[in-house]
Amino acid sequence: MKKLFFVILINMAFAAMPLFAQDAQDSSGDFYYVKVPIAKIYPYSKGYVVTYNVGTYGTELDTVYIPTSWFSTKDNKAVLIRMRATPVVPNITVYYRDGAFDHVKLYVRADYRDTSWGHMPLQANLDDRFENVTDISLKLSITKE
């Protein structure tokens, strides 16, 4: 009888939990993300140059520049996630809050010898492309089928 009473008491406590739970909805506004496959990612002295697929069939490419400073814990705007699993498709995922850029995650293959990694020529000078970068706006081509 004591066990039955104890089980009923525990069930009542669990049943009452939703009454006292806080609202789980984010009160800071809309939060969404856009994820696109990476065609090539190039390490550069000032950050990463990421070429991604714009078109539905990967026929169009665009480029974004992600400064190294974004990967610091101070800025915390970017994360580089190296994946070792074989079927991983490298992608860039950009997160937006209230329609404005919030942060970016790069999911890349861990092996730098992979074809998704490129090598920037030594004579390339892209320093100006990394200056005053404040956000990332991905260009997307959406087709209706």
Q: 112 lies in a domain?
A: yes
User: From CA 116, how far away is CA 35, in angstroms rounded?
Assistant: 16
Decide: helix, strand or coil at residue 58. coil
Each residue of 100-136: pLDDT tens digit?
Answer: 999 999 999 999 899 999 998 888 999 999 999 999 9
Residue 19 confidence (pLDDT) above 50: no
> Containing domain of residue 72, as a range?
31-130
Looking at residues 35-60, what average pLDDT do you find? Answer: 88
Q: 16 lies in a domain?
A: no
Q: What angle is formed at CA 125 by the lines to CA 133 and CA 141, rounded to 5 degrees? A: 50
Q: 19 lies in a domain?
A: no
Domain count, the chain: 1
Q: 15 lies in a domain?
A: no
Question: Which of 25-29, 64-68, 99-103 bottoms out in mean pLDDT, i.e. has the lowest?
Answer: 25-29
Calculated CA dihedral for residues 59, 64, 68, 74, nearest 10 degrees: -120
pLDDT given for residue 25 in this prediction: 46
Q: 139 lies in a domain?
A: no
Q: 2 lies in a domain?
A: no
Residue 20's pLDDT band (boundaries 50, 70, 90)?
A: very low
Average pLDDT over all residues of the chain: 81
Q: 141 lies in a domain?
A: no
Q: 54 lies in a domain?
A: yes
pTM of this prediction exceeds 0.75: no
